[in-house]
Amino acid sequence: MNFSINQLNSLVKLISSNPNEAKALIKLTSVDILKSLGNGQYNILLDGKTLTAQSHKTLTEGSKYWTQLTDTKDSTPKLSNLIKIPQILESFQNRLTHYSIKELLSILESKNPAGTFKQSLVEQLATASTKEEFSNISNLLLSLQNQTFTIPLLFNSSFSILQFKKRYNKKTKKTQIDFYTALEFLGPISGVISFDNGNIVVNINVAFDKTKNFLENDMENFSYKIDISLLKDIEPLYNTNKNSLLDISI
């Protein structure tokens, strides 16, 4: 059995999980940190509204975080399980550049996914109408040059970033696919797709307990063995750098 990025089809099922159901069960939201007020209090932007919230964790002004918000009638809302949203997700949330699940599957199922994706980006770059759109597409090409697919996805009005790269693991002496995805309603997810005794095994890391429970209760969507673990420090495979000079070989 050939081991290729076509095996990511199972991850596409994860990404296309019902966002409304996930939002209702996980109750994950994102907040913008507007200003520190001292003593662990911050002005935040939540669902278009400005309010004051409490956090035991020191937060960075101007940054955006995933959080589980606890709100009581008699006290200041409390932010818990805060995880900073990576720049790569924020960069593409303007949604000027994105792919549908159908378009992603078309890329994965092509004979040369890297070539297909690159050609698509080059065509979009040639017709980019704004500086921001040009910058976004250029960053996707830079990521591809670094052997990492970075694909912004939009489905059911929900936005996510999917990243993956194929590499040889010197320790196991086997080829594997590393992946990362950041979803508005599930948070950050990373992991590895590999072979074990001829079978495909998927190891997934998630940042939130409720995300882990949600995925474990949705195992019928997967055709491979899945192992899910909790991990707080989940980083993108490739991140954007607004100050980097473009060096794109087309």
pLDDT for 94: 66
Label residue 188 by pLDDT band (50, 70, 90): very high
C-alpha dihedral sign at 84, 205, 22, 16: positive
Cβ neighbours around 209 below 10 Å, total: 12
pLDDT for 246: 46
Percentage helix, strand, coil for the chain under 3-state DSSP, each rounded to 5: 30, 35, 35
In the predicted structure, residue 191 carries a pLDDT above the cut 50? yes
Question: Strand order in 149-155's β-sheet?
Answer: 149-155, 158-169, 174-183, 187-196, 199-206, 225-230
How far out from the chain centre does Cα 162 lie?
Answer: 5
Label residue 95 by pLDDT band (50, 70, 90): low
pLDDT for 22: 74
In the predicted structure, residue 2 carries a pLDDT above the cut 50? no
Mean pLDDT across the stretch 138-151?
Answer: 92
Mean pLDDT over the full length of the chain: 82
Q: How far apart are CA 133 and CA 139, in angstroms?
A: 10
In the predicted structure, residue 195 carries a pLDDT above the cut 60? yes
pLDDT for 218: 73
Q: Which domains does the chain have, with CATH numbers?
A: 5-24+95-230 (no CATH), 29-87 (2.40.50.140)
**What would the DSSP string read from start to end of 164-216?**
EEEEEETTTTEEEEEEEEEETTTEEEEEEEEEETTEEEEEEEES-HHHHHHHH
pLDDT for 249: 46
Contact call for residues 14 and 221 (beta carbons, < 8 A): yes
Of residues 245 and 67, the one with the higher pLDDT is: 67
- Residue 223 sits at the vertex; the CA angle it makes with 220 and 224, to the nearest 5 degrees, is 115
Q: How far apart are CA 117 and CA 120, in angstroms?
A: 5
pLDDT for 63: 92
Label residue 119 by pLDDT band (50, 70, 90): very high
pTM score, whole prediction: 0.85
Cβ neighbours around 119 below 10 Å, total: 13
Q: What are the pLDDT digits (tens) for 78-93? A: 888 889 998 888 777 7
Q: How far apart are CA 27 and CA 185, in angstroms?
A: 8
Selection from 39, 65, 68 nearest residue 52 by Cα:
39
CB-based contacts of 114, cutoff 8 Å, min separation 6: 144, 149
Label residue 141 by pLDDT band (50, 70, 90): very high
The least confident of 193-202, 215-224, 231-240 is 215-224
Contact call for residues 148 and 139 (beta carbons, < 8 A): no
